[in-house]
Structure 1
Amino acid sequence: MTTDAATVHRAHPRLIVQKFGGTSVAKDDLREVAVSRVLEARARGFCPVVVVSAMGRIGDPYATDTLLSLLGPAKPSANRDLIAAVGELISAAVFAELLIKWGAKAQALSGGQAGVVVDDRWGDAQIIEVRPDYVLQIVGEGVIPVVAGFQGMTPDGAIATLGRGGSDLSAVALGSSLKAEAVEIFTDVSGVMSGDPRRVAGVHAVERITYEEMTELAAHGAKVMHHKAASWAMQTKTPYSVKGLRTNQGTLVDDAVPIDRDRPVTGIAAIHDLAFVHMILGEIEDREKLGKLELEIFGRLARRGISIDLINVNRAGVFFAVESHNLPVVRTELRDLNMAVRVREGCAKLSIVGAGMRGTPGVMYRVVQALEAQGVEIIHSTDSNITISILVREEDATKAEQGIHDYFHLESERR
């Protein structure tokens, strides 16, 4: 017998999903803080559903990368995913037992037991659906479910993992399927920052941000939230917050955010260690032949699993950026196309994001002004409705970030 969402919501109208990342469950004292956040939520009238990552980072005994190192180099497979999922299972059991020690009823669940159904793209599985019947059942019995993030079960019963940052996705997908009142992502920083505090002075946590802004920042290098999770939340309109574990303060992500066009930029994200590739097409006048050549370039890179960025195609050629470690593969794949290839290594991409850019003239002009004042060369740029991405020299990246942050006055709270 299953418990449908409507029945449980009548009895327990305030479901909350709380996700704790690897650094938040790495040590005894941090796990105790995390448990206190769960019990605080329950004291406020919520019925918590907990999602946990593996404990710690590489080098820690139960971290995912540490466990994977037992296999050595291995292609994605069911075997590799099985061992990759172990860290979250251990973490869930430890966390559930700590909740019990503190007087709560709790039960650890695998992703599959929590109803997360995925395909068999090993190491990068896609969620097909979430069937939270069992989670709802035990919540109705007064039990706090502690779900192993980063994983699900295929229709054939195999464990498959969701890729880097997959626990964020587990939490948002569960929150959406449960129609939770809130989803809280706990991490080691107090929310979404206006820039990277390791490189930019004067950054602050943005109090509120739109789904689209968060998705863009995550996709362009902000580490506080995984881009797949941010995209899922945007598509399902699942509000969530990103909070510091110790401070319990952070950023609310939803669409009820006033847009201030006088302050069009919300934050800056960066991706480093890129190479910029320019493939010169030459004097090809035949449009059909030119189109086939362009398709051949992109097709070869796609088949090798090479992700490219900052793409532009025009009469001058094909332009794109690629992670530097993939450059040898790019050269190998494209060398027989009888085209001149120019490569500029040592680049970084800065992405300036803000919902206030949409329909606001002159933002790119102001970005250029800010970089000109810092003596920073723009190697390449692309833009969308709410994002401007620029490619600069790696050695200029920090002063470029600082210059843009200062120019748009991001040192003060925007909303």
Structure 2
Amino acid sequence: MKEASAVGSIRVMKFGGSSLASPAQRTAAANRVLAVQKDGERVVIVVSAMGRRPDPYATDTLLELAPDADAGPNRDLLAASGEIVSAAVFAATLERCGARARALTGWQAGILTDGAHGDAHVLHVERTTIDELLSSGVTPVICGFQGADRNGTITTLGRGGSDLTAVAIARALGGAALDIYTDVDGVMTADPRRVPAAQTIPNLTFEEVTELSQHGATVMHDKAADLARIAHLPYTVLSLNSGAGTKVGATDAPQPAGPVTGVTASFGFTFMHLVPDAAVLPGGWEQDAFRVLAEANISIDCVNVNSAGLFFIVRDAEVKRAQERLTALPLAVRTRPDCAKISVVGAGMRGTPGVMYACVRAL
């Protein structure tokens, strides 16, 4: 669960929504906190909204109350309310179990962000309030996923942003120990909900987790994984039911026996094929297509350019906008919906022959 630490050191414990979904789970999480404190460590807690859709206080459920709200301060205020409820409830649970606790919103905890509503970046964590509470023997219970800009306007950090909150706070506290509690026993070789035989990976490098998260593994927010990598901040991914979980750190961690570390699957993509009108478009038309999509802030992936045209995948939610923007160019747009992206990750794949063949054969 946790490594031995010096008495009086700080441990940040982040609990995901599935770890706080019921009174029994909240009590189990509180007991984990008390056990760490009994060992002499001071604890800072970061929480996500409780549960998942259709649970009443899950973020997606709350956003359904205003489905047409545009990204902005109103939508961010609504989205942030789930974590506020969660922090207050979990602080009460801790006090019922015998600890002293104080719920804090992201901005009360000193989290300063830019003004990008719905996908804000953490600029700074002012740790004064956290330090004052710890010095007085009170456990801070901080709302993840949220902060405020320089004008005091509430912002949110994007889906899975509570992980980013936890990493940013651990970094601000001078490299505090960090535990990320989720609904699986650690980082797995594949999604256990789809691959029952998936196994927990005991050790991973910063780079491997960053790549896995960027390719769709939901166990860790991709920006959080990248910030931990940049800050050289080791952390552990585990569940309330697991033992050691997955320890993430420097490249000297024990490596898997084979070249492949894990496999991720991302769904909800459409395959797009752009065919130019050779009689109209000059050479280099691909740059025009890329420019049009970039100006619309549409992200594409798995790009391939050859004599048959330009191929890529795009999120289903972006297909209509992409088609509308591409009509400005003299080309045909062909689509194939209901696609998935399979990513194979492993530091040992480079220079190892036969990996791609094995992947294609499995598909």
Distance 2:16 2:71 in 1: 23
Distance 1:370 1:248, change over 3 A: closer
Is the Cα–Cα contact under 8 Å of residues 81 and 122 in structure 1 kept in the other structure? yes
Is the Cα–Cα contact under 8 Å of residues 33 and 246 in structure 1 kept in the other structure? no
What is the TM-score of this pair, normalised by structure 2? 0.92
1:205 pairs with one of 191, 200, 204: 200
Give the equivalent residue in structure 2 for 1:392: none
Paired letter, 1:317: G
2:356 pairs with one of 357, 367, 387: 367
Distance 1:314 1:104 in 2: 63
Give the equivalent residue in structure 2 for 1:272: 267
2:67 pairs with one of 41, 54, 72: 72
Distance 2:355 2:113 in 1: 45
Give the equivalent residue in structure 1 for 2:33: 38
Paired letter, 1:303: E
Distance 1:12 1:159, change over 3 A: farther
In proportion to residue count, which structure has more helix? Answer: 1
2:23 paired with 1:28: yes
Aligned-residue offset at 1:79: 1.4
Alignment length (residue pairs): 358
Aligned-residue offset at 1:13: 4.6
Distance 1:260 1:54, change over 3 A: closer
Paired letter, 1:51: V
1:132 pairs with one of 127, 136, 151: 127
Distance 2:243 2:148 in 1: 32
Aligned-residue offset at 1:93: 1.2
Indicate the RMSD between aligned Cα atoms, in angstroms. 2.2
SS at match of 1:341: strand
- Percent identical among aligned pairs is 45
Distance 2:88 2:257 in 1: 49
Give the equivalent residue in structure 2 for 1:299: 291
Distance 1:164 1:297 in 2: 29
Is the Cα–Cα contact under 8 Å of residues 167 and 224 in structure 2 kept in the other structure? yes
Aligned-residue offset at 1:66: 2.3
Distance 1:27 1:254 in 2: 32
Give the equivalent residue in structure 1 for 2:78: 83
Aligned-residue offset at 1:208: 0.6
What is the TM-score of this pair, normalised by structure 1? 0.81
Distance 1:153 1:273 in 2: 31
2:314 paired with 1:322: yes
Is the Cα–Cα contact under 8 Å of residues 7 and 39 in structure 2 kept in the other structure? no
Aligned-residue offset at 1:40: 1.0
Aligned-residue offset at 1:223: 1.2
Q: Bigger shift: 206-215 or 339-348?
A: 339-348
Give the equivalent residue in structure 1 for 2:301: 309
1:145 pairs with one of 135, 140, 145: 140
Give the equivalent residue in structure 2 for 1:252: 247
Give the equivalent residue in structure 1 for 2:3: none
2:170 pairs with one of 172, 175, 180: 175
Paired letter, 1:142: G
Distance 2:76 2:194 in 1: 35
1:243 pairs with one of 238, 242, 245: 238
SS at match of 2:310: strand
SS at match of 1:51: strand
Give the equivalent residue in structure 1 for 2:323: 331
Is the Cα–Cα contact under 8 Å of residues 202 and 246 in structure 2 kept in the other structure? yes
Distance 2:15 2:108 in 1: 19
5+ residue gaps in structure 2? 1-5
5+ residue gaps in structure 1? 1-10, 375-399, 401-415
Distance 1:282 1:39 in 2: 67
